Structure 1
Amino acid sequence: MLTVASADACPVYIEPKLSDARQADAVVVGYVTKDVRATDRARLTVEINHIIAGTVPSAVTVYWYREINNGPPERISGGYVFALRKLPPSMSADGVDAYAVMQGVCSGALVFRRGSTQANAIREMFGLEPEPLEPPPETFVESFKAALISGPALIVFGLLTTGATFTGVALWRRRRRPRGQP
């Protein structure tokens, strides 16, 4: 049985059954544009890129409830395939339709990176062609992480570079002088 509520205790983790996606109210490919965390859940705003099954607006609010050994990753970015169950209107904020990520009790959620083996298996269940794996996007900061150096390390690096430059110039000058001249 699939649920949208969290379990109190999960003695073991059970791999999600991909065939459960057929019970979803909607299966979509989307990108998370907003991520608000609480202790027991995350509230995501998902921009819909492609609808695999069901009917949803172009952006939806999705709740991802945590279990002991399951929950959204700390950072979710890029394209994902989501299997969603529509929540009752009483659980919707501001009258906007809300959905929950499908997941079984003590099982992983039916959310997979676009183009992953699991995402492509779900696509094929609905008669669609597989997609290539979408690499996780880099943020501006991540693309420069390797270049970031802490203050003391930067000073040492600067001194070493300056010393090597002066040594190289001195050796170059020494070679240019004819023998016998100081």
Structure 2
Amino acid sequence: MNENIKWNETVVTKHDREQLKNHNGMILWFTGLSGSGKSTIANLLEKDLHDQTVHTYLLDGDNVRHGINKNLGFSSQDRKENIRRIAEIGKLFVDAGIVVLVAAISPFKEDRAAARDLFTHGDFVEIYVKCSLEECEKRDPKGLYKKARKGEIKEFTGVTHPYEEPVNPEIIIDTTKQNSEQSVNEITSFLKERLKK
């Protein structure tokens, strides 16, 4: 960091913003293979929270790659930078007192740990959307696994690129055993006390 760049403290704090919104700001980080159900569950959860007058914003991995991360590919280095940028954006939202939902494969433990380290204890909730590779390939909502198996997509997570399962996530949602509604209810129940200001 350049020594001429100094941090400017703001008069309005995260606590002030949370008081105004009447709930805590936090980040809900959905990780899992492509096709596991991350985006589906995150979308339904955001709608549920919105209906409860919780201020939210959803950062979907694909959507972010249309904008701020459109210059990144899928090499290990680019994936690392992709997650770093998403986490930094998420940190700004949390500081604004918003509940930010991130739906991104985020395949590497190290990158998810680095994202967690940006946040105050309790502000980062890792949600592992667990689903077997076989089931994800069966679903294949975007036809990506088929392309990866044909060699049309290089460095595809689960096929030619590794996915490192979370060791100790706050929540595990197994979408081979529970539907989207059950998954959302489980997360909502977990958040009930944590959201209270």
Q: Fold conserved (TM > 0.5)?
A: no
Question: Please, what TM-score do these two structures have when normalized by structure 2?
Answer: 0.23
Higher relative contact order (CA 8 A, sep 6+): 2
The structure whose Rg is larger is 1
Question: Please, what TM-score do these two structures have when normalized by structure 1?
Answer: 0.24
Greater fraction of residues in helix: 2
